[in-house]
């Protein structure tokens, strides 16, 4: 039985958010469960790219976490070989071509919410984290990564695509200086061990240990949850939050 199956067997509550119809059936883009005082948010949409439906699901899940009273913490993870592959540019350039800047802002708003959530957040990175998915990882208080599968990468330099100033500010605030330069200027792909050595994640673990370790890390910090934590985080990163809200007009 893998780590997620063990979690499924012991969870207390479940909320499936933003249903996605696939081949006549329904799967949850995001599944939010709770184990004791720790919420577990699992992205379950293939590459877990950001589109309008997944942004809505993220906001609904974060609303639920924020509404919960008392001790709490949040662990995020993905499914299969993907944590999140970030923006869905192909979809956005087709479906949001007339409102592309607003689409980007909607994703950045999710990152800002995660960065300043009034409880401890732990990323259990089960696979690839690229672009905005890498940003999602970085926005959390603690980051764990699977040691034997998946890469952390900001590929924009190879895509010849500039970053939104908010994305650059987030990485600069949350990663060591030499690392953020390499991440952005080279587009290097970091496996778990390399990501740990570079200070991108705190730990690189076998798959079976990833979610249990994230839960064990989050649970003792659940009592720290309080609106004051949101204020502290907001005061730590005012320039990041301002940059994330910056709307860029189409060229």
pLDDT of residue 28: 82
pLDDT of residue 249: 74
pLDDT of residue 20: 37
Query: CA 167, 181, 184, 195 torsion: positive or negative?
Result: negative
> Angle, nearest 10°, between helix axes 3-10 and 207-218?
40
pLDDT of residue 11: 55
DSSP symbols for 46-115: TT-EE-HHHHHHHHHHHHHHHH--SS-EEEEE-BTTEEE-EE-HHHHHHHSTTSHHHHHHHHHHHHHHHH
Q: How many residues does the chain have?
A: 251
- Please indicate, yes or no, if residue 204 is contained in any of the structural domains: yes
Structure tokens at 35: 């184990």
pTM exceeds 0.95: no
pLDDT of residue 24: 39
pLDDT of residue 196: 98
- Please indicate, yes or no, if residue 136 is contained in any of the structural domains: yes
Tell me which residues of the chain have a pLDDT lower than 50: 1, 13-25
Please count the structural domains in the chain: 1
- Please indicate, yes or no, if residue 249 is contained in any of the structural domains: no
- Please indicate, yes or no, if residue 250 is contained in any of the structural domains: no
pLDDT of residue 250: 66
Query: CA 144, 145, 147, 148 torsion: positive or negative?
Result: positive
> Angle, nearest 10°, between helix axes 165-174 and 100-115?
20
- Please indicate, yes or no, if residue 251 is contained in any of the structural domains: no
122: containing domain: 3-244
Give me the CATH number covering residue 136: 3.90.226.10
């Amino acid at each position: 039985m893998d780590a997620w199956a063990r979690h499924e067997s012991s969870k207390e509550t479940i909320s499936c958010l933003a249903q996605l119809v696939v081949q006549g059936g329904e799967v949850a883009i995001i599944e939010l469960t709770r184990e004791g005082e720790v919420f577990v948010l699992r992205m379950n949409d293939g590459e877990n790219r950001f589109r309008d439906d997944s942004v809505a699901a993220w906001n609904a899940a974060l609303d639920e976490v924020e509404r919960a009273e008392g001790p709490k913490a949040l662990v995020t993870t993905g499914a299969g070989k993907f944590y999140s592959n970030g923006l869905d540019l192909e979809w956005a350039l087709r479906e949001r071509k007339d409102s592309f800047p607003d689409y980007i802002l909607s994703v950045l708003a999710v990152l800002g919410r995660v960065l300043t959530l009034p409880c401890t957040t732990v990323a259990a990175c089960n696979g690839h984290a690229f672009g905005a998915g890498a940003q999602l990882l970085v926005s959390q208080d603690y980051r764990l990564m699977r040691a034997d599968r998946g890469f952390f990468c900001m590929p924009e330099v190879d895509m010849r695509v500039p970053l939104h100033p908010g994305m650059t500010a987030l990485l600069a605030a949350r990663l060591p200086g030499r690392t953020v330069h390499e991440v952005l200027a080279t587009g290097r792909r970091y496996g778990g061990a390399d990501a740990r050595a570079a200070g991108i994640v705190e730990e690189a673990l076998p798959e079976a240990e990833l979610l249990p370790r994230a839960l064990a890390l989050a649970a003792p910090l659940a009592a720290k949850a309080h609106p004051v934590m949101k204020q502290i985080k907001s005061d730590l990163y005012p320039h990041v939050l301002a940059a994330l809200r910056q709307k860029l007009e189409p060229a």
